[in-house]
């Protein structure tokens, strides 16, 4: 999957809306980090100073601003995601309806139905949610890393082997998961085509009493597709476990380094 595909989706999404969402993501994360910093200042101040109302009021302003920005960026993102998916559906439908007859001779009905049902359904339902979660997670991780580097600069050498390990795991996962997803999509098309053929020829199947044969054929195609789907889920769990392991190593190294620094000081 080249960056041209992502750029095409971004153009459907809108450059202005993408910039707006990016700014709101950065602004929300900055307010979140500064809110934690404000709590740290509040906790480290004197007992008498902690009783002042400015601490709770300013922190309430941070929380309110963060809520408004979070709702605003989510509304903008999902609205324009719907606009982008609608535009892609209209363009796909227009090209299929205006395609020459040779297109229908070389592409079976199941493959066309697969594009307009499962693939565009994923663009409508799954892609916006996953993309928004990924953007938020990226901003949270980036903010946490910046804060960690500022507070504990001695942790930078720990990142070198972890980054190398992450890049190696990421490379293996992308190659494998991409091929598994493609095989799952390829084996899904015959399922739709076979089901459509069964529905169309149902009177003939009943007349010749071969329902059991077509039932076994359909279940065989469905089993092949489900086996690739299970392999893809297993691949996702494979990278999930290893990423959790990397995070556990980082969270284990950080407190040990902090304790070591405090002892030297």
CB 155 within 8 A of CB 148: yes
Query: How many other CB atoms are there within 10 angstroms of residue 22's CB atom?
Result: 13
CB 185 within 8 A of CB 117: no
pLDDT at 263: 59
CB 12 within 8 A of CB 91: no
Q: What is the mean pLDDT of the chain?
A: 87
pLDDT at 193: 86
Q: Quick: pLDDT tens for 81-139.
A: 999 999 989 999 999 999 998 888 888 877 888 888 878 888 888 889 989 998 988 88
Distance, CA of 177 to CA of 165 (rounded, Å): 18
Better pLDDT: 193 or 251:
193
DSSP calls for 9-50 = HHHHH-HHHHHHHHHHHHHHHHHHHHHHHHHHHHHHS-HHHH
Distance, CA of 50 to CA of 41 (rounded, Å): 9
pLDDT at 235: 92
User: Nearest to residue 221, comparing CAs of 197, 261, 191, 246?
Assistant: 191
Residue 3 pLDDT > 90, yes or no?
A: no
Q: Quick: pLDDT tens for 142-193.
A: 887 787 777 777 777 877 888 888 889 988 998 899 899 889 888 988 898 8
CB 191 within 8 A of CB 229: no
CB 79 within 8 A of CB 21: no
Structure confidence at residue 44 as a pLDDT band (50, 70, 90): confident
CB 163 within 8 A of CB 141: no
DSSP 209: T
Residue 213 pLDDT > 90, yes or no?
A: yes
Place of tokens 């906790």: 43
CB 225 within 8 A of CB 188: yes
Q: Estimate to the nearest angstrom the gap between the alpha carbon of 245 and the chain centroid.
A: 20
Residue 264 pLDDT > 60, yes or no?
A: no
């Amino acid at each position: 999957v080249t960056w041209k595909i992502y750029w095409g989706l971004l153009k459907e999404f809108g450059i202005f809306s993408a910039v707006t969402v990016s700014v709101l993501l950065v602004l929300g994360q900055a307010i979140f980090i500064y809110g934690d910093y404000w709590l740290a200042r509040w906790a480290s101040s004197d007992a008498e100073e902690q009783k002042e109302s400015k601490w709770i009021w300013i922190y309430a302003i941070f929380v309110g601003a963060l809520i408004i920005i979070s709702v605003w960026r989510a509304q903008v993102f999902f609205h324009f995601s719907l606009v982008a998916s609608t535009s892609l559906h209209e363009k796909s439908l227009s090209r299929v309806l205006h395609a020459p007859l040779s297109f229908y001779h070389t592409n079976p009905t199941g493959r066309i139905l697969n594009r307009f049902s499962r693939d565009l359904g994923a663009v409508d339902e799954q892609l916006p949610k996953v993309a928004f979660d990924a953007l938020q997670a990226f901003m949270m991780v980036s903010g946490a890393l910046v804060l960690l580097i500022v507070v504990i600069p001695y942790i930078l050498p720990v990142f070198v082997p972890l980054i190398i390990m992450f890049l190696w795991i990421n490379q293996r996962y992308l190659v494998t998961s991409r091929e598994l997803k493609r095989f799952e999509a390829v084996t899904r098309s015959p399922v739709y085509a076979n089901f459509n053929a069964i529905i169309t020829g149902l009177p003939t199947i009943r007349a010749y009493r071969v329902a059991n044969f077509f039932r076994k054929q359909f279940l065989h195609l469905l089993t092949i597709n489900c086996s690739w789907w299970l392999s893809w889920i297993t691949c996702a769990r494979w990278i999930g476990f290893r990423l959790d392991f990397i995070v556990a190593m980082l969270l284990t190294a950080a407190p040990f380094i902090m304790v070591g620094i405090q002892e030297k000081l």
